[in-house]
A = this chain, B = another copy of it.
Amino acid sequence: MESLYVIKIGGNIIDDELLLAAFLKKFAAIRSKKILVHGGGKLATRLAEKLGIPQQMIDGRRITDAETLKIVTMVYAGYINKHIVARLQSLQCNAAGICGADGNSILSHKREKAGIDYGFAGDIDRVNSNWFKQLLENGLALVVAPITHDGKNQLLNTNADTIAQEIAKALSAAFEVSLIYSFEKPGVLLDVENENSLIDVLHAGYYKELKESNKIFAGMIPKLDNAFAAVSQGVKKVVIGKGEELDQLITGNSGTTIGHA
């Protein structure tokens, strides 16, 4: 099967024009089929502040009221998405930017959780893998903004990590998918304070062991649980590491690689 890279870009890179330019140069150089999923960084928060729209976060998730939904749609699907696409085009990488409403690519429903009203936040139901395949086969790199829709005229703010994971799983029937999460740290660390304590390869058994002995940083657990779920659902491997080292994350010379034992 042909290779496909699904790469989630972290907010720290989106917020830094120079880091973003360097990252996109490495992304453009990937010769395989590729999809970039981006979040929003601090731009949406900053715009909301300027417009005097108070932002509320619960467990690291933005509460998306109607005004905030407008802002994230503008910033994520408009400014950031097209900014990235224009940059990739200038690097001779023919890219197309989409959100989950375009081509009905990602269908979701409004999150409902007892006691918490997340507002217009989406939980994903279905990825339209046919349309992704068509676009990839037309030779395009795809840039996906974290806005989905419910099919009933409601756009929904959606977690970019989850979008990357769902796209990776949905396309693993057609491609050999590597899912890459780029973030601030060099990968999964045995000691979160020590960047030299990187775990190169994390298999399910070792992960269970580390989790049971409380050696995994709590904030990483949801990410890692998701990574193992993806691998057990057809994704070939998940790599977590520094966005600045994207080229080495691709070759496996950097970051933490997650797979079966």
Cβ contact within 8 Å between B85 and A102:
yes
Instruction: Encode contact with B along A131-158: 1 for CB under 8 Å, 0 otherwise.
Output: 1001000101000000101011111000
Interface of A is mostly: helix
With both chains docked as a complex, state the minimum distance between the C-beta of A101 and any C-beta of chain B, in angstroms: 5
A95 and B90 contact, Cβ closer than 8 Å, known pairs A75-B78, A78-B75: no
Instruction: Encode contact with B along A47-88: 1 for CB under 8 Å, 0 otherwise.
Output: 000110000000000000000001001111111011101110
Say whether A45 faces chain B, with CB atoms less than 8 Å apart. Answer: no
Chain B minimum-CB-distance residue to A153: B90
Instruction: Tell me the complex Cα distance, A3–B74, Å.
Output: 33
A74 and B83 contact, Cβ closer than 8 Å, known pairs A51-B51, A103-B94, A153-B89: no
Say whether A104 faces chain B, with CB atoms less than 8 Å apart. Answer: yes
Cβ contact within 8 Å between A89 and B50:
no
Q: Which residues of B contact A99 (CB under 8 A)?
A: 82, 85, 97
A154 and B86 contact, Cβ closer than 8 Å, known pairs A73-B79, A78-B76, A79-B74: yes
Cβ contact within 8 Å between B82 and A79:
no
Instruction: Tell me the complex Cα distance, A50–B74, Å.
Output: 15
Chain B minimum-CB-distance residue to A84: B101
Residues of chain A whose beta carbon lies under 8 Å from any beta carbon of chain B: 50-51, 70, 73-79, 81-83, 85-87, 89-90, 94-99, 101-104, 131, 134, 138, 140, 147, 149, 151-155
Q: Which residues of B contact A76 (CB under 8 A)?
A: 78
Q: Which residues of B contact A147 (CB under 8 A)?
A: 82
Q: Which residues of B contact A102 (CB under 8 A)?
A: 82, 85, 95-98
Chain B minimum-CB-distance residue to A102: B96
Instruction: Tell me the complex Cα distance, A48–B84, Å.
Output: 23
A74 partner, pick from B75, B95, B134, beta carbons under 8 A = B75
A96 and B94 contact, Cβ closer than 8 Å, known pairs A78-B74, A89-B153: no
Q: Which residues of B contact A154 (CB under 8 A)?
A: 86
A152 and B90 contact, Cβ closer than 8 Å, known pairs A51-B50, A82-B147, A138-B134: yes
With both chains docked as a complex, state the minimum distance between the C-beta of A70 and any C-beta of chain B, in angstroms: 6
Cβ contact within 8 Å between B103 and A149:
no
Q: Which residues of B contact A50 (CB under 8 A)?
A: 51
Q: Which residues of B contact A153 (CB under 8 A)?
A: 86-87, 89-90
Cβ contact within 8 Å between A155 and B104:
no
